Amino acid sequence: MSTATATVNDIHHDGDKAGRDRVQADGRIPLRGHLRHTGALVRRNLLWIRQDPESMADALLMPVIFTLLFVFVFGGSIGQALGGGQDGYVQYVIPGMIAMMSMTLSQGVGTGFCQDFNSGVMDRFRSLPIGRGSVLFAKISVELIRMLFATTVLMIVAVLVGFDINHWPGLFAAVGLATLFASSIMWVFLTLGVMMKSAQSVQAMGFLVLFPLQFGSSIFAPTQSMPGWLQAFTDYNPLSTLADAARGLMVGGPVAHDLWVTIGWSAAITAVMAPVAIHKFRTKS
């Protein structure tokens, strides 16, 4: 029996148990049932990654390539403008790249979700007596694990190119903030994964969203030299506030304003997009 089939059967067994609970709980699956289903689905997705380790290639290679590219191609010129040369640019860009990872890897949850629909896996899940939100929460949980893996790789490469970790609590706080923001953005890509007909369409739409947000921010360079209209955009860009908050936590500087704005963006995006994603998933024909 294949791993995927075995896991689906486990979920089906849990679903039968939850079905008995549902009758006792006035038509609702209890929290314990949701947690059990989510855990089984997380296990299914992790086993799938184990069977297909190539799916981790982007999480492994992206932080390496982007770090080396920006540090050694742009670090000299932008670092001189910052007044610290290439070494100064390393201290500037690495916290910003933690913000970038949170956004870039988030689109993987949408493409994977769409592929599961096209392969028929989601039809099987939706036929089982399991919580619909459990499927989505499991997808987000696994993608967050991938993001944390990519962030670990990023920090290893960052140290090798000269980044100084002088404040470990600040580093963990920055990663936690990026994880919170990534979890909110994943609801957007889950919605796209349900609505789009192919994974390629989800990826194309994702790039249309990602590029303006990433490069129209303070991730890679300060915004003071940008045109006024672009600075106005960066002021409201959540990636700018996330990058600046991470920079303040890891390197030093103002934190409070950017921290609370980023948390506000995360809460607002989740509050709006999570119900939409769950509704689209339940009603998709």
What is the per-residue pLDDT across 123-152, written as a single tens digit (0 to 9) for each?
Answer: 777 777 677 678 888 889 999 999 999 999
What is the per-residue pLDDT across 197-236, written as a single tens digit (0 to 9) for each?
Answer: 888 888 888 888 888 889 889 999 888 888 888 888 998 8
State the pLDDT confidence band at 26, using cuts at 50, 70 and 90.
very low
pLDDT at 24 over 50: no
Q: Any idea which residue has 């099987």 for tokens?
A: 124
Q: Any idea which residue has 């990663």 for tokens?
A: 175
Which amino acid does the sequence have at 63? Answer: P
Task: For residue 196, give the nearest of 104, 108, 110 by alpha carbon.
Answer: 110
Q: What percent of the chain has pLDDT over 90?
A: 39
Mean pLDDT of the chain: 83
Task: For residue 4, give the nearest of 48, 40, 46, 55 by alpha carbon.
Answer: 48
State the Cα–Cα distance between residues 29 and 17, nearest whole angstrom.
10
Residue 34: how many CB atoms within 10 A of its CB? Answer: 18
Highest mean predicted confidence (pLDDT) among 9-13, 119-123, 195-199: 195-199
pLDDT, mean of residues 154-165:
94
- For residue 218, CA distances in Å to 68, 96, 97, 128, 237 come to 18, 7, 10, 46, 9
User: Quick one: pLDDT at residue 74?
Assistant: 84
**Which residues, including other chains, have CB under 8 Å from residue 246's CB and lie 6 or more apart?**
95, 96, 98, 99, 174, 177, 178
State the pLDDT confidence band at 8, using cuts at 50, 70 and 90.
very low
pLDDT at 261 over 90: yes
Check: CB of residue 89 under 8 Å from CB of residue 139: no
Looking at per-residue pLDDT, the higher value among 229 and 29 belongs to: 229
User: Quick one: pLDDT at residue 91?
Assistant: 93
Check: CB of residue 119 under 8 Å from CB of residue 200: no
Output the pTM of the full model. 0.84
Helix ranges restricted to H, the chain: 3-24, 31-51, 57-69, 75-82, 85-104, 107-119, 121-127, 132-160, 168-195, 199-215, 228-235, 238-250, 256-283
User: Quick one: pLDDT at residue 17?
Assistant: 47
pLDDT at 42 over 60: yes
Q: What is the 3-state secondary structure (H, E, C) of 133-190?
A: HHHHHHHHHHHHHHHHHHHHHHHHHHHHCCCCCCCHHHHHHHHHHHHHHHHHHHHHHH
Distance separating the N- and C-terminal Cα atoms of the chain: 29
Q: Where along the chain do its domains lie?
A: 56-283
Highest mean predicted confidence (pLDDT) among 4-13, 28-37, 219-228: 219-228
What is the per-residue pLDDT across 61-90, written as a single tens digit (0 to 9) for each?
Answer: 999 999 999 999 888 888 887 777 888 899
User: Quick one: pLDDT at residue 15?
Assistant: 46
User: Quick one: pLDDT at residue 27?
Assistant: 53
User: Quick one: pLDDT at residue 171?
Assistant: 95
pLDDT, mean of residues 15-19:
45
Check: CB of residue 280 under 8 Å from CB of residue 195: yes
